[in-house]
Amino acid sequence: MTRQALAVLNEIFGYDSFRDQQQEIVEQILSGQHALVLMPTGGGKSICYQIPSLVLPGTGLVVSPLIALMQDQVSALRQLGVKAACLNSSLPMEEIIEVERALVRGELDLVYLAPERLLQEETLNLLDRCELSLLAIDEAHCISRWGHDFRPEYLQLDTLRDRWPDLPVLACTATADQRTRKEILSKLRLETGQIFISGFDRPNIKYRVTGKTNEKNQLLDFINTHHFGEAGIVYCLSRKRTEKIAAFLNENGLPALPYHAGLSGTLRQHNQARFLNEDGLIVVATIAFGMGIDKPDVRFVAHLDLPKSIEAYYQETGRAGRDGLPSNAWMVYGMQDVIMQSRFVDMSDGDEVFKRSERQKLDTMLGYCETVSCRRQLLLNYFGEDLSEPCGNCDTCLEPVPIFDGTEAAQKLLSCVVRTGQRFGALYIIDVLRGSESERIDKFGHRELSTYGIGSEFDNWQWRSIIRQLVTKRFLAVDLEGYGGLRLTPEARGILNGETEVLLRQEEAASLARPKPKPKKKKATAALLEVGTEAEIAANQGLFEELRDLRKAIAEEQSVPPYVIFHDKALAAMALHRPGSENEFLMISGVGQSKLQKYGERFLARIRENS
């Protein structure tokens, strides 16, 4: 069957060979065995169940958590000539009936269902009348109560193992630490299956974290400098904030749309469709957006607020650069983020064990933000993967942060916190340290303190960094029940007594640290930068843009996202190699027989016009 699987990969998907562990996983399923697959976003997880579904007799069932994700994958498969469909609540009744009849007649290769739909008794009875080839459970981490995307319905999927005991099961996800992997295996009863871990590294993503000053302007500078005219996702913590940031970007010439659970379903669907179908749009969203996004050319993911865990951060940043081309994961955070996330944990309905776990995750997230070592090494280590050398593609590698002996600075700060009564927040403490003339300081009589004005060697930006680091290192704690006042922890005593040395990140003064805005400029497309030299880019940029225009026109004719026609990488290869025949066109990666028949003539004609 391996030869047949390779033929399907080439003829339908347009690829010459499997990547990484794909072939082993496909063979595991074809032999009737179970598998848990951990593969980074964009690594090709879907191939691992789509090809067995096409090789084995019967229909492959795919459990997917979001309607948008189902529709996206079904559209892409139909472009390849695969008989695929989905069953969900967004479909009109006549279409549901049509899909169900096709299922019973054995006319579908794959059908996508939400767990809620699949677990309905009438759906199960319908599927009992069908020949099934496999059960694929996408986003399998949703089964974990400890995870960031928990879906209670996923816990009931184990009942399918009793109903169809001989059906091979493939559970796949891009995000699962050791604890979550054990949960998936246990709750889906896949202990006899094999675990395939392709690695969590996304080397095309550049990671950068910086402290907040004016986050709106920081974001604007970042996009204008690095991603003007390109698609991206900006994550915010609150619904109201997403709308304000989207409006701000629009006011500054960057097309942006808000997305959050408070918007009507119609408007959410409209905004998501625009993001998928148009070039250069930015979505400003809460975490409600993203899991169902298969858009390959998202060039950046920005966080304006601190994520609650490394898992959430990895999952969200993974939506950038699914096509493997250079992309950015950029984040700003401040003390207020720490306070907010800590409050969310304390106010949750979970028991103390759950809260302790969430606090540990938040601590790890803070440690990632404040690290002076390679961010990618820390990120991968969290998932149990070692990177032997620093990555060279994160801010701490590209611009190493100097470390200084911050013991004296910490003593000044901690003394000031004690002398002001351990009830004031970071900004007030900084004002006292820097000798502010604020009336509030006079009101509380703190101008007379010995710590008043003793911290003028650091500016506000630098003191904020010191405070964040001392909170991260557990020398300072934040009062979550009051107004965010700082207080000392028992560990702080060693610093005040001179027994504990503190090494800290040395931040530049704010005037030097803030990014310098650059002129807005549309860069050469990432796909061309990846495949050609400067001279080749200059020679082929015009044809590449014409091919993109043709792709967009075809996509509009068919009411599908442009990338399901061809990815940018395929268009870049066409522009560079300029195929002149059908055989040469087939040699472009991502072009199979179905797409040759559908689009070959039109794309070859456009290429000839420019030759």
Q: Quick one: which H or E segment has residue 219?
A: helix 215-226
| Predicted confidence (pLDDT) at residue 427 exceeds the cutoff of 60 | yes
| Predicted confidence (pLDDT) at residue 292 exceeds the cutoff of 60 | no
What is the Cα–Cα distance from 335 to 426, expressed in whole angstroms?
A: 8
What share of the chain in percent tops pLDDT 90? 52
Rounded average pLDDT over 348-362: 82
Rounded average pLDDT over 481-501: 88
Q: Hey, where are the domains in the chain?
A: 2-197, 205-398, 403-506, 526-609
3-state helix, strand, coil in the chain (%, to 5): 50, 10, 40
Least confident stretch, 102-116, 348-362, 397-411, 501-515 = 501-515
User: Tell me, what's the pLDDT at 279?
Assistant: 86
What share of the chain in percent tops pLDDT 70? 93
Confidence of residue 291 (pLDDT cuts 50, 70, 90): low
Mean pLDDT across the chain: 88
Rounded average pLDDT over 332-337: 87
| Predicted confidence (pLDDT) at residue 145 exceeds the cutoff of 80 | no
Q: For the whole model, what pTM was predicted? A: 0.81
User: Tell me, what's the pLDDT at 414?
Assistant: 96
Please check whether the two domains, 2-197 and 205-398, share a CATH topology: yes
Query: How does pLDDT run across 204-225, given as a tens digit for each residue?
Result: 999 999 988 899 999 999 999 9
Contact between 359 and 294 under an 8 Å Cβ cutoff? The reply is no
Confidence of residue 351 (pLDDT cuts 50, 70, 90): confident
What is the Cα–Cα distance from 373 to 325, expressed in whole angstroms?
A: 24
Least confident stretch, 280-289, 297-306, 580-589 = 280-289
More confident residue, 62 or 3: 62
Tokens at 370, concatenated: 């404040």
Contact between 103 and 35 under an 8 Å Cβ cutoff? The reply is no
| Predicted confidence (pLDDT) at residue 527 exceeds the cutoff of 80 | no
Query: How does pLDDT run across 433-475, given as a tens digit for each residue?
Result: 999 999 999 999 999 999 999 999 999 989 999 998 998 888 9
CATH ID of 205-398, from 3.40.50.300, 2.40.110.10, 3.20.20.140, 3.40.109.10: 3.40.50.300
Task: Give 36's strand partners.
Answer: 171, 195
Least confident stretch, 20-24, 288-292, 294-298 = 288-292
CATH number attached to the domain at 403-506? 1.10.10.10
Q: Is domain 2-197 annotated with CATH 3.40.5.10?
A: no
- Matching residue, tokens 């280590």: 381
Query: How does pLDDT run across 23-64, given as a tens digit for each residue?
Result: 999 999 999 999 999 988 777 889 999 999 999 999 999 998
User: Tell me, what's the pLDDT at 148?
Assistant: 58
| Predicted confidence (pLDDT) at residue 178 exceeds the cutoff of 70 | yes
- Side chain identity at 474, as an amino acid letter? R
What is the Cα–Cα distance from 522 to 537, expressed in whole angstroms?
A: 14
- Sign of dihedral through CA atoms 268, 270, 271, 274? positive
**Closest-CA residue to 193 (of 69, 24, 381):** 24
Beta strands in 88-204 (DSSP E): 110-113, 132-137, 169-173, 194-197
DSSP string, 353-399: HHHHHHHHHHHHHHHHHH-SS-HHHHHHHHTT---SS--SSBHHHHS
What is the Cα–Cα distance from 64 to 497, expressed in whole angstroms?
A: 57
CATH number attached to the domain at 526-609? 1.10.150.80
Rounded average pLDDT over 266-286: 89
Least confident stretch, 29-38, 127-136, 141-150 = 141-150
Could you give the angle at the alpha carbon of 332 between the alpha carbons of 327 and 335, nearest 5°? 155
Contact between 576 and 535 under an 8 Å Cβ cutoff? The reply is no
What is the Cα–Cα distance from 602 to 592, expressed in whole angstroms?
A: 15
What is the Cα–Cα distance from 360 to 363, expressed in whole angstroms?
A: 5
What is the Cα–Cα distance from 40 to 180, expressed in whole angstroms?
A: 15
SS3 per-residue string spanning 503-532:
EEECCCCHHHHCCCCCCCCCCCCHHHHHHC
What is the Cα–Cα distance from 547 to 553, expressed in whole angstroms?
A: 10
Contact between 236 and 261 under an 8 Å Cβ cutoff? The reply is no
User: Tell me, what's the pLDDT at 54?
Assistant: 95
User: Tell me, what's the pLDDT at 43?
Assistant: 78
